[in-house]
Amino acid sequence: MSNPLVRIGFLGIAHMHAVSYAHSLLAMPGVEVVGMWDRTDKLAAEWSERIGVARFDSADDLLAAGLDAVVVCSENAYHRPLVEQTAGRVRAILCEKPISTSVADAQVMIDRCAATNTRLQIAFPVRFAPSVIELKRQLDAGLLGDILTVNCTNHGSMPGGWFIDAELAGGGAVLDHTVHVIDVLRWFWGAEVAEVYAEVGDSLLHPGLGIDDAGLLSFTLSNGVYGTLDTSWSRPPSYTIWGDVKLEILGERGVVYADTLHQYVAVASNAAGKTQWAGFGSDMDRGLMADFVEMVRTGRAPSITGEDGLRAMQVALAAYESAKIGQPVKIA
C-alpha cells in the first residue's frame, strides 16, 4: 500500500526551524522536497547546498514546479506576501510562527487562504512534544481537578540576526516567545486570553541590542485561569541549553511541573568549555511535519489553524501595548 507522493517546497528559510523541518521531510517516505527559494541569495545558496534541496531563482519558479504544499519559514514580515503569493497555487501552506507581525496582515493571510481554498497551518511544534501530548491527556482526564493557575516560561537564547531587526521580526523576545506557550494553553482548555499585563525589557539583558529581550506577561484566560509567562532571552551562551518550555499548572487536586523538553544527557566538553545538555527526546518537529503531510494527503482540516496563529500573536501584541501604556489590556 503506497501513499501518493506529496510534493513540498520551502519559501523562505531565514528561520532556523527550516533546517529541522527539511530534515524531517527528507526522511519521510512518500514526500518529495522539490526545492527552496529565499530572498537572500547567499543564504539560499548556502542552505540549498547544506541541506541538499534544489534552489530556485524565484518563488514563482518554485510554485510553477507543481507543488502540493509550501512551508514558509521566512522572516516574520515576509509571511504575509509569501502566503498571499502562494494561496490558490498549492493545497496547503505551513507558516512558521508567529503568523505575522500585525493583526491586519494575519487576517489578510487567513482570508486569502480561505478564499482560495488553501489550507493554512501554523507551525507550533510544542503541541507535538510527547510530554505536552501526555499533559493534555492528563488534564482532559481531570487529574488535577479544576485548574487554578499556570506559571510558565519560554526562555531562550538571544538569537541575533533578523530576529533583532524590528522591521523584519515585528518584535523581540515577547513576540518570539509568547506564542508557543499561549497556543498550548489555548489548546489545553479551548480558552482565550482575556486580558494581559506586561513588563517588557528593552535591551535589558543585552545592552545596546535595540529590541525587547525580556518580558513578563500576566494574563487571565476566558475559563477563569490566571497565569504568567516569562518570554525572556535570558539563557546566556555559557548556559547548558538554549532555553526551555516550562508549564507549572496548579489545580484543586495537585500540581504538575512540566519541563516539557527536559530529556537530556549532560555533556561536559573541554572543547566547548562548558557543560551542555544534549536532548534525547522525541523530535517534535518530526511530529509537526508528519501531521502536516497527513493533512495534505488526506485533505482534512489543519490541526493548528491560521486563527490559532492570529490569537496567539494578538496576546504578544497586547503585551507590547500594555507595556507602552503601563496598564492591563483587554483582548477582544
Question: Residue numbers of the site for other proteins (CB under 8 A)?
Answer: 130-131, 133-135, 138, 143-144, 253-272, 278-283, 286-287
Distance between CA 317 and CA 237 in Å, rounded? Answer: 28
> Do 304 and 182 contact (CB within 8 A), yes or no?
no
- Toward other proteins, which CB reaches closer, 130 or 160? 130
Q: For residue 218, what are the contacts with CB-CB under 8 A and spacing of at least 6?
A: 196, 197, 198, 226, 227, 228, 328
Shortest Cβ distance from residue 169 to other proteins (Å)? Answer: 29
Shortest Cβ distance from residue 232 to other proteins (Å)? Answer: 21
Coil, helix or strand at residue 205:
coil
Shortest Cβ distance from residue 308 to other proteins (Å)? Answer: 22
- Toward other proteins, which CB reaches closer, 165 or 248? 248
Nearest CA among 16, 288, 244, 312 for reference residue 127: 288
> Do 29 and 292 contact (CB within 8 A), yes or no?
no
- Toward other proteins, which CB reaches closer, 134 or 167? 134
- Toward other proteins, which CB reaches closer, 77 or 288? 288
Shortest Cβ distance from residue 93 to other proteins (Å)? Answer: 25
Shortest Cβ distance from residue 28 to other proteins (Å)? Answer: 12
- Toward other proteins, which CB reaches closer, 58 or 269? 269
Take residue 180 and report the three cell numbers written for it: 508557543
Shortest Cβ distance from residue 24 to other proteins (Å)? Answer: 12
- Toward other proteins, which CB reaches closer, 2 or 327? 2
- Toward other proteins, which CB reaches closer, 12 or 227? 227
Can you list the pairs that 213-219 forms with residues at least 24 positions away whose Cβ atoms lie under 8 Å? 213/158, 213/164, 213/172, 213/173, 214/173, 215/173, 215/174, 215/177, 215/178, 215/319, 215/323, 217/174, 217/178, 217/315, 217/319, 218/328, 219/193, 219/194, 219/195, 219/315
Shortest Cβ distance from residue 126 to other proteins (Å)? Answer: 12
Q: For residue 92, what are the contacts with CB-CB under 8 A and spacing of at least 6?
A: 68, 69, 70, 118, 119, 120, 121, 292, 295, 296, 302
Distance between CA 120 and CA 225 in Å, rounded? Answer: 29
